[in-house]
Amino acid sequence: MVSIEDYAPIVGKGEVESIKELAKHVEGAKVLHVNATKFGGGVAEILSRVVPLARSVGLNAEWEVIQGDRDFFWVTKKIHNALQGDETVSLDNDKIRIYLEANRRNAFIIPNDAEVVVIHDPQPLPLIENRRSGKWVWRCHIDTSNPNMGVWSRLRDYIRMYDAAIFSLEKYIPKDLAGMKVLIDYPTIDPLAAKNMPLTPTEIQKVLERYDIDPERPIVGQVARFDPWKNPTGVVDVYRKVKKNVEGLQLLMIGSFAHDDAEGEEWYNKTVKYSGGDKDIHILTNLDGVMDKEVNAFQRSFNAALQLSIREGFGLTVAEALWKGVPVVGTKAGGITLQVIDGVTGYLVNSIEDAAERVKLLLRRPWLARELGYAGRQHVKLNFLITKGLKNYLRMHIDLVGK
Protein backbone atom coordinates (compact mmCIF):
# COMPACT_ATOMS: atom_id res chain seq x y z
CA MET A 1 0.00 0.00 0.00
CA VAL A 2 1.29 3.47 -0.93
CA SER A 3 2.47 5.70 1.92
CA ILE A 4 3.59 9.32 1.98
CA GLU A 5 6.64 8.14 3.96
CA ASP A 6 7.88 6.28 0.86
CA TYR A 7 8.67 9.63 -0.77
CA ALA A 8 10.97 10.90 1.97
CA PRO A 9 14.18 9.61 0.27
CA ILE A 10 13.25 11.61 -2.85
CA VAL A 11 11.75 14.87 -1.56
CA GLY A 12 13.08 14.90 2.02
CA LYS A 13 11.53 14.26 5.41
CA GLY A 14 10.72 17.95 5.87
CA GLU A 15 8.45 17.98 2.82
CA VAL A 16 6.70 14.80 3.97
CA GLU A 17 6.08 16.29 7.43
CA SER A 18 4.75 19.49 5.85
CA ILE A 19 2.22 17.46 3.83
CA LYS A 20 1.13 15.51 6.91
CA GLU A 21 0.58 18.74 8.84
CA LEU A 22 -1.59 20.16 6.05
CA ALA A 23 -3.59 16.93 5.88
CA LYS A 24 -4.61 17.24 9.55
CA HIS A 25 -6.83 20.19 8.59
CA VAL A 26 -8.98 18.00 6.32
CA GLU A 27 -8.54 14.60 7.96
CA GLY A 28 -11.49 12.33 7.20
CA ALA A 29 -12.99 14.64 4.58
CA LYS A 30 -14.71 12.79 1.75
CA VAL A 31 -13.27 13.79 -1.62
CA LEU A 32 -14.52 12.44 -4.93
CA HIS A 33 -12.69 12.69 -8.28
CA VAL A 34 -14.65 12.02 -11.49
CA ASN A 35 -13.24 11.64 -15.00
CA ALA A 36 -13.96 9.76 -18.24
CA THR A 37 -11.52 6.84 -18.30
CA LYS A 38 -9.53 4.57 -15.99
CA PHE A 39 -6.74 4.08 -18.53
CA GLY A 40 -4.99 5.73 -21.42
CA GLY A 41 -4.61 9.40 -20.57
CA GLY A 42 -2.77 11.77 -18.28
CA VAL A 43 -5.79 12.40 -16.04
CA ALA A 44 -6.27 8.69 -15.34
CA GLU A 45 -2.56 8.36 -14.66
CA ILE A 46 -2.59 11.22 -12.14
CA LEU A 47 -5.71 9.97 -10.34
CA SER A 48 -4.50 6.38 -10.15
CA ARG A 49 -1.62 7.62 -8.01
CA VAL A 50 -2.84 10.72 -6.18
CA VAL A 51 -6.09 9.19 -4.85
CA PRO A 52 -4.32 6.35 -2.94
CA LEU A 53 -1.70 8.83 -1.73
CA ALA A 54 -4.43 11.17 -0.46
CA ARG A 55 -5.92 8.24 1.47
CA SER A 56 -2.52 7.59 3.05
CA VAL A 57 -2.59 11.03 4.69
CA GLY A 58 -6.12 10.68 6.05
CA LEU A 59 -8.52 11.84 3.34
CA ASN A 60 -11.50 9.67 2.43
CA ALA A 61 -10.66 9.94 -1.28
CA GLU A 62 -12.53 8.11 -4.04
CA TRP A 63 -12.35 8.00 -7.83
CA GLU A 64 -15.30 7.35 -10.15
CA VAL A 65 -15.45 7.08 -13.95
CA ILE A 66 -18.50 8.08 -15.98
CA GLN A 67 -20.06 5.62 -18.42
CA GLY A 68 -20.87 6.47 -22.02
CA ASP A 69 -21.44 4.92 -25.43
CA ARG A 70 -19.49 5.55 -28.62
CA ASP A 71 -21.72 8.47 -29.63
CA PHE A 72 -21.11 10.21 -26.30
CA PHE A 73 -17.33 9.88 -26.54
CA TRP A 74 -17.40 10.96 -30.18
CA VAL A 75 -19.22 14.16 -29.10
CA THR A 76 -16.90 14.78 -26.14
CA LYS A 77 -13.83 14.36 -28.36
CA LYS A 78 -15.29 17.05 -30.63
CA ILE A 79 -15.79 19.25 -27.56
CA HIS A 80 -12.17 18.60 -26.50
CA ASN A 81 -10.92 19.60 -29.95
CA ALA A 82 -13.10 22.71 -29.98
CA LEU A 83 -11.84 23.86 -26.58
CA GLN A 84 -8.29 23.52 -27.93
CA GLY A 85 -9.17 25.79 -30.85
CA ASP A 86 -10.75 23.67 -33.62
CA GLU A 87 -13.09 26.16 -35.30
CA THR A 88 -14.67 23.50 -37.53
CA VAL A 89 -16.61 21.99 -34.62
CA SER A 90 -20.19 23.02 -33.92
CA LEU A 91 -22.57 21.63 -31.32
CA ASP A 92 -26.05 21.22 -32.76
CA ASN A 93 -29.01 20.27 -30.60
CA ASP A 94 -28.57 16.56 -31.30
CA LYS A 95 -24.95 16.57 -30.08
CA ILE A 96 -25.92 18.56 -26.98
CA ARG A 97 -28.72 16.06 -26.29
CA ILE A 98 -26.28 13.11 -26.48
CA TYR A 99 -23.87 14.95 -24.17
CA LEU A 100 -26.42 15.95 -21.55
CA GLU A 101 -28.41 12.73 -21.52
CA ALA A 102 -25.29 10.64 -20.86
CA ASN A 103 -24.37 12.91 -17.96
CA ARG A 104 -27.89 12.76 -16.53
CA ARG A 105 -27.77 8.96 -16.62
CA ASN A 106 -24.42 9.07 -14.82
CA ALA A 107 -25.84 11.38 -12.17
CA PHE A 108 -27.82 8.42 -10.81
CA ILE A 109 -24.68 6.22 -10.67
CA ILE A 110 -21.99 8.59 -9.38
CA PRO A 111 -22.12 9.14 -5.57
CA ASN A 112 -23.15 12.66 -4.61
CA ASP A 113 -22.32 12.89 -0.91
CA ALA A 114 -18.70 14.10 -0.88
CA GLU A 115 -17.55 17.26 0.85
CA VAL A 116 -15.39 18.09 -2.19
CA VAL A 117 -16.14 16.85 -5.73
CA VAL A 118 -13.45 17.38 -8.40
CA ILE A 119 -14.75 16.97 -11.97
CA HIS A 120 -12.00 16.51 -14.55
CA ASP A 121 -12.30 17.93 -18.09
CA PRO A 122 -15.43 18.49 -20.20
CA GLN A 123 -16.82 14.93 -20.43
CA PRO A 124 -18.49 14.92 -16.94
CA LEU A 125 -18.86 18.72 -16.68
CA PRO A 126 -22.71 18.80 -16.64
CA LEU A 127 -22.88 16.51 -13.59
CA ILE A 128 -22.95 19.77 -11.62
CA GLU A 129 -26.66 20.02 -12.55
CA ASN A 130 -27.37 17.28 -10.00
CA ARG A 131 -25.30 18.61 -7.12
CA ARG A 132 -26.93 17.85 -3.79
CA SER A 133 -24.17 18.84 -1.40
CA GLY A 134 -20.50 19.73 -0.99
CA LYS A 135 -18.12 22.03 -2.83
CA TRP A 136 -17.59 21.30 -6.52
CA VAL A 137 -14.42 22.06 -8.51
CA TRP A 138 -13.89 21.77 -12.26
CA ARG A 139 -10.34 20.76 -13.21
CA CYS A 140 -9.48 21.57 -16.84
CA HIS A 141 -6.41 19.72 -18.13
CA ILE A 142 -6.50 21.02 -21.72
CA ASP A 143 -5.32 24.16 -23.49
CA THR A 144 -8.26 26.60 -23.50
CA SER A 145 -6.20 29.66 -24.39
CA ASN A 146 -7.98 30.11 -27.73
CA PRO A 147 -11.21 28.08 -27.64
CA ASN A 148 -13.88 27.78 -30.29
CA MET A 149 -16.22 30.39 -28.78
CA GLY A 150 -19.37 28.81 -30.18
CA VAL A 151 -18.66 25.63 -28.21
CA TRP A 152 -17.18 27.38 -25.18
CA SER A 153 -20.32 29.49 -24.79
CA ARG A 154 -22.44 26.31 -24.61
CA LEU A 155 -20.33 25.06 -21.67
CA ARG A 156 -19.57 28.29 -19.81
CA ASP A 157 -22.78 28.37 -17.77
CA TYR A 158 -22.05 24.89 -16.39
CA ILE A 159 -18.53 25.96 -15.39
CA ARG A 160 -19.90 29.01 -13.59
CA MET A 161 -22.04 26.71 -11.42
CA TYR A 162 -18.86 25.37 -9.79
CA ASP A 163 -17.32 26.75 -6.60
CA ALA A 164 -13.90 26.91 -8.28
CA ALA A 165 -12.07 26.03 -11.50
CA ILE A 166 -8.47 24.86 -11.89
CA PHE A 167 -6.31 25.35 -14.99
CA SER A 168 -2.71 24.32 -15.72
CA LEU A 169 -1.55 27.75 -16.94
CA GLU A 170 -2.77 31.28 -16.34
CA LYS A 171 -3.16 31.91 -20.08
CA TYR A 172 -5.70 29.05 -20.26
CA ILE A 173 -8.23 30.98 -18.13
CA PRO A 174 -10.94 32.40 -20.42
CA LYS A 175 -11.67 36.06 -19.68
CA ASP A 176 -15.40 35.46 -19.27
CA LEU A 177 -14.79 33.53 -16.04
CA ALA A 178 -13.96 36.84 -14.33
CA GLY A 179 -15.31 36.92 -10.79
CA MET A 180 -15.14 33.14 -10.39
CA LYS A 181 -12.65 31.51 -8.02
CA VAL A 182 -9.88 30.22 -10.31
CA LEU A 183 -6.70 28.38 -9.34
CA ILE A 184 -3.51 27.40 -11.19
CA ASP A 185 -2.08 23.94 -10.57
CA TYR A 186 0.50 21.96 -12.56
CA PRO A 187 -0.05 18.25 -13.18
CA THR A 188 2.56 15.97 -11.61
CA ILE A 189 4.18 12.56 -12.02
CA ASP A 190 4.82 9.84 -9.45
CA PRO A 191 8.52 8.87 -9.20
CA LEU A 192 7.55 5.59 -7.52
CA ALA A 193 5.09 4.50 -10.23
CA ALA A 194 6.06 1.62 -12.53
CA LYS A 195 6.44 4.12 -15.36
CA ASN A 196 9.01 6.21 -13.50
CA MET A 197 10.83 4.01 -10.99
CA PRO A 198 14.51 3.14 -11.60
CA LEU A 199 15.30 0.23 -13.95
CA THR A 200 18.53 -1.67 -14.33
CA PRO A 201 20.36 -1.68 -17.69
CA THR A 202 19.49 -5.38 -18.00
CA GLU A 203 15.77 -4.69 -17.55
CA ILE A 204 15.90 -1.96 -20.20
CA GLN A 205 17.79 -4.15 -22.64
CA LYS A 206 15.31 -7.02 -22.25
CA VAL A 207 12.40 -4.75 -23.15
CA LEU A 208 14.20 -3.33 -26.19
CA GLU A 209 15.16 -6.77 -27.45
CA ARG A 210 11.58 -8.04 -27.02
CA TYR A 211 10.47 -5.38 -29.52
CA ASP A 212 13.45 -5.80 -31.90
CA ILE A 213 14.98 -2.44 -31.02
CA ASP A 214 18.78 -2.26 -31.16
CA PRO A 215 20.22 -0.69 -27.98
CA GLU A 216 23.55 -0.14 -29.76
CA ARG A 217 22.04 2.31 -32.26
CA PRO A 218 20.69 5.83 -31.55
CA ILE A 219 17.02 6.11 -30.54
CA VAL A 220 14.64 9.06 -30.50
CA GLY A 221 11.00 8.85 -29.58
CA GLN A 222 7.69 10.43 -28.65
CA VAL A 223 5.28 9.03 -26.07
CA ALA A 224 1.78 10.40 -26.72
CA ARG A 225 -1.73 9.48 -27.72
CA PHE A 226 -2.32 9.11 -31.46
CA ASP A 227 -4.11 12.39 -31.90
CA PRO A 228 -3.90 15.32 -34.36
CA TRP A 229 -2.79 17.67 -31.55
CA LYS A 230 0.25 15.48 -30.81
CA ASN A 231 1.47 15.84 -34.44
CA PRO A 232 2.59 12.23 -35.01
CA THR A 233 3.31 12.80 -38.71
CA GLY A 234 5.58 15.70 -37.74
CA VAL A 235 7.54 13.31 -35.52
CA VAL A 236 8.09 11.02 -38.53
CA ASP A 237 9.22 14.04 -40.58
CA VAL A 238 11.83 14.96 -37.93
CA TYR A 239 13.13 11.38 -37.87
CA ARG A 240 13.49 11.35 -41.67
CA LYS A 241 15.44 14.61 -41.68
CA VAL A 242 17.77 13.47 -38.88
CA LYS A 243 18.34 10.03 -40.40
CA LYS A 244 19.91 11.63 -43.48
CA ASN A 245 22.84 12.58 -41.24
CA VAL A 246 22.69 9.97 -38.46
CA GLU A 247 23.25 6.43 -39.64
CA GLY A 248 21.17 3.71 -38.00
CA LEU A 249 18.71 6.06 -36.26
CA GLN A 250 15.60 4.41 -34.77
CA LEU A 251 12.27 6.09 -33.97
CA LEU A 252 9.89 4.87 -31.26
CA MET A 253 6.33 6.18 -31.17
CA ILE A 254 4.55 4.93 -28.09
CA GLY A 255 0.86 5.48 -27.43
CA SER A 256 -2.21 3.93 -25.85
CA PHE A 257 -5.86 3.64 -26.71
CA ALA A 258 -8.32 5.09 -24.21
CA HIS A 259 -12.04 4.35 -24.48
CA ASP A 260 -12.89 8.07 -24.26
CA ASP A 261 -10.80 8.88 -27.38
CA ALA A 262 -12.92 8.25 -30.46
CA GLU A 263 -10.14 9.35 -32.85
CA GLY A 264 -7.30 7.22 -31.51
CA GLU A 265 -7.58 4.30 -33.94
CA GLU A 266 -7.94 6.60 -36.94
CA TRP A 267 -4.79 8.54 -36.07
CA TYR A 268 -2.86 5.39 -35.23
CA ASN A 269 -3.65 4.04 -38.72
CA LYS A 270 -2.69 7.37 -40.31
CA THR A 271 0.64 7.29 -38.50
CA VAL A 272 1.38 3.70 -39.53
CA LYS A 273 0.57 4.54 -43.15
CA TYR A 274 2.69 7.71 -43.04
CA SER A 275 5.69 5.74 -41.73
CA GLY A 276 5.74 3.94 -45.08
CA GLY A 277 6.88 0.57 -43.74
CA ASP A 278 10.26 1.86 -42.48
CA LYS A 279 11.56 -0.98 -40.28
CA ASP A 280 13.39 1.49 -38.03
CA ILE A 281 10.10 3.19 -37.09
CA HIS A 282 8.48 1.29 -34.23
CA ILE A 283 4.86 2.30 -33.56
CA LEU A 284 3.71 0.56 -30.40
CA THR A 285 0.66 0.66 -28.12
CA ASN A 286 -0.88 -1.10 -25.14
CA LEU A 287 -2.32 -3.59 -27.65
CA ASP A 288 1.30 -4.68 -28.30
CA GLY A 289 1.80 -5.33 -24.59
CA VAL A 290 3.37 -1.92 -23.95
CA MET A 291 2.42 -1.04 -20.38
CA ASP A 292 4.03 1.21 -17.77
CA LYS A 293 7.28 -0.74 -17.34
CA GLU A 294 7.81 -0.92 -21.09
CA VAL A 295 7.21 2.83 -21.49
CA ASN A 296 9.71 3.41 -18.68
CA ALA A 297 12.34 1.31 -20.44
CA PHE A 298 11.72 2.94 -23.82
CA GLN A 299 12.00 6.47 -22.40
CA ARG A 300 15.26 5.57 -20.64
CA SER A 301 16.64 4.30 -23.95
CA PHE A 302 16.02 7.58 -25.79
CA ASN A 303 19.01 9.70 -26.73
CA ALA A 304 16.47 12.50 -27.07
CA ALA A 305 12.74 12.67 -26.46
CA LEU A 306 10.35 14.54 -28.75
CA GLN A 307 7.10 16.33 -27.88
CA LEU A 308 5.94 18.05 -31.04
CA SER A 309 2.40 18.89 -29.96
CA ILE A 310 0.46 21.62 -31.73
CA ARG A 311 -1.57 22.20 -28.54
CA GLU A 312 -0.66 20.74 -25.17
CA GLY A 313 -2.45 21.21 -21.87
CA PHE A 314 0.63 20.12 -19.97
CA GLY A 315 2.33 17.02 -21.37
CA LEU A 316 3.12 14.59 -18.55
CA THR A 317 5.37 12.59 -20.86
CA VAL A 318 7.75 15.56 -20.97
CA ALA A 319 8.14 15.44 -17.18
CA GLU A 320 8.54 11.64 -17.37
CA ALA A 321 11.41 11.90 -19.87
CA LEU A 322 13.14 14.69 -17.96
CA TRP A 323 12.86 12.74 -14.70
CA LYS A 324 14.77 9.94 -16.42
CA GLY A 325 17.55 12.34 -17.38
CA VAL A 326 16.56 12.52 -21.06
CA PRO A 327 16.56 15.96 -22.75
CA VAL A 328 13.37 16.93 -24.58
CA VAL A 329 12.99 18.70 -27.90
CA GLY A 330 9.51 20.20 -27.81
CA THR A 331 7.32 22.76 -29.49
CA LYS A 332 6.44 26.06 -27.83
CA ALA A 333 2.99 24.74 -26.97
CA GLY A 334 1.19 25.15 -23.66
CA GLY A 335 2.62 23.25 -20.71
CA ILE A 336 5.68 22.08 -22.63
CA THR A 337 7.14 25.55 -22.10
CA LEU A 338 6.91 25.11 -18.31
CA GLN A 339 9.04 21.99 -18.48
CA VAL A 340 11.46 22.49 -21.35
CA ILE A 341 13.69 25.43 -20.49
CA ASP A 342 15.40 26.22 -23.77
CA GLY A 343 19.06 25.33 -23.65
CA VAL A 344 18.79 24.13 -20.03
CA THR A 345 16.53 21.02 -19.93
CA GLY A 346 16.15 20.62 -23.68
CA TYR A 347 15.16 22.78 -26.62
CA LEU A 348 12.01 24.64 -27.63
CA VAL A 349 11.41 24.72 -31.38
CA ASN A 350 9.07 26.37 -33.87
CA SER A 351 9.33 23.99 -36.82
CA ILE A 352 10.18 20.50 -38.02
CA GLU A 353 13.50 21.85 -39.33
CA ASP A 354 14.39 23.36 -35.93
CA ALA A 355 13.50 20.12 -34.17
CA ALA A 356 15.67 18.05 -36.54
CA GLU A 357 18.66 20.34 -36.00
CA ARG A 358 18.35 20.16 -32.21
CA VAL A 359 18.02 16.37 -32.25
CA LYS A 360 21.14 16.10 -34.41
CA LEU A 361 23.01 18.33 -31.96
CA LEU A 362 22.07 16.09 -29.01
CA LEU A 363 23.03 12.92 -30.88
CA ARG A 364 26.41 14.34 -31.87
CA ARG A 365 27.20 15.68 -28.38
CA PRO A 366 26.27 13.04 -25.78
CA TRP A 367 27.90 15.13 -23.02
CA LEU A 368 25.47 17.96 -23.79
CA ALA A 369 22.50 15.58 -23.70
CA ARG A 370 23.65 14.33 -20.28
CA GLU A 371 23.96 17.87 -18.90
CA LEU A 372 20.52 18.90 -20.14
CA GLY A 373 19.04 15.64 -18.87
CA TYR A 374 20.49 16.16 -15.40
CA ALA A 375 19.09 19.70 -15.26
CA GLY A 376 15.74 18.35 -16.43
CA ARG A 377 15.58 15.82 -13.61
CA GLN A 378 16.30 18.55 -11.04
CA HIS A 379 13.62 20.78 -12.59
CA VAL A 380 11.02 18.00 -12.30
CA LYS A 381 12.08 17.21 -8.72
CA LEU A 382 11.46 20.82 -7.69
CA ASN A 383 8.22 21.40 -9.56
CA PHE A 384 6.40 18.39 -10.97
CA LEU A 385 6.41 15.47 -8.51
CA ILE A 386 3.23 14.03 -7.00
CA THR A 387 4.07 15.26 -3.51
CA LYS A 388 3.74 18.82 -4.76
CA GLY A 389 0.50 17.94 -6.52
CA LEU A 390 -0.92 16.42 -3.33
CA LYS A 391 0.16 19.46 -1.33
CA ASN A 392 -1.68 21.78 -3.72
CA TYR A 393 -4.83 19.65 -3.52
CA LEU A 394 -4.66 19.69 0.27
CA ARG A 395 -4.42 23.49 0.25
CA MET A 396 -7.47 23.65 -2.02
CA HIS A 397 -9.41 21.26 0.25
CA ILE A 398 -8.47 23.33 3.30
CA ASP A 399 -9.69 26.48 1.54
CA LEU A 400 -13.01 24.82 0.67
CA VAL A 401 -13.82 22.65 3.72
CA GLY A 402 -10.89 22.94 6.15
CA LYS A 403 -11.43 22.56 9.88
Q: How many whole angstroms separate alpha carbon 248 and alpha carbon 286?
A: 26
CA 181 – CA 292 distance, rounded (Å): 36
pLDDT at 216 over 70: yes
* C-beta neighbour count of 98 within 10 angstroms: 19
What is the pTM for the complete model shown?
0.94
Whether the Cβ atoms of residue 256 and residue 40 lie closer than 8 Å to each other: yes
Q: What is the pLDDT of residues 261-297, one digit of tens each?
A: 667 888 999 999 999 999 999 999 999 999 999 999 9
DSSP letters, 304-351, are EEEE--SS-S--HHHHHHHHTT--EEEES-TTHHHH--BTTTEEEESS
Q: How far apart are CA 193 and CA 339, in angstroms?
A: 20
Residue-range domains of the chain with CATH: 4-188+385-401 (3.40.50.2000), 201-383 (3.40.50.2000)
Each residue's pLDDT tens digit, 115-124: 999 999 999 9
For helices 70-83 and 93-107, give the axis angle rounded to 10 degrees.
110
Amino acid at residue number 138:
W
Q: Helix, strand or coil for residue 162? A: coil
Q: Which of 68, 72, 209, 229 is nearest to 142 (CA)?
A: 229
Whole-number percent of the chain with pLDDT over 90: 90
Count of other CB atoms within 10 angstroms of residue 306: 31
Q: Which value, to the nearest 10 degrees, does the dihedral of the CA atoms of residues 93, 98, 99, 100 take?
A: 80
Instruction: For residue 200, give every residue at least 6 positions away whose Cβ sits within 8 Å of its Cβ, in sequence order, or none.
Output: none
Average pLDDT value over all residues in the chain = 94
The answer to whether 31 touches 60, Cβ cutoff 8 Å, is yes
The predicted pLDDT at position 262 comes to: 66
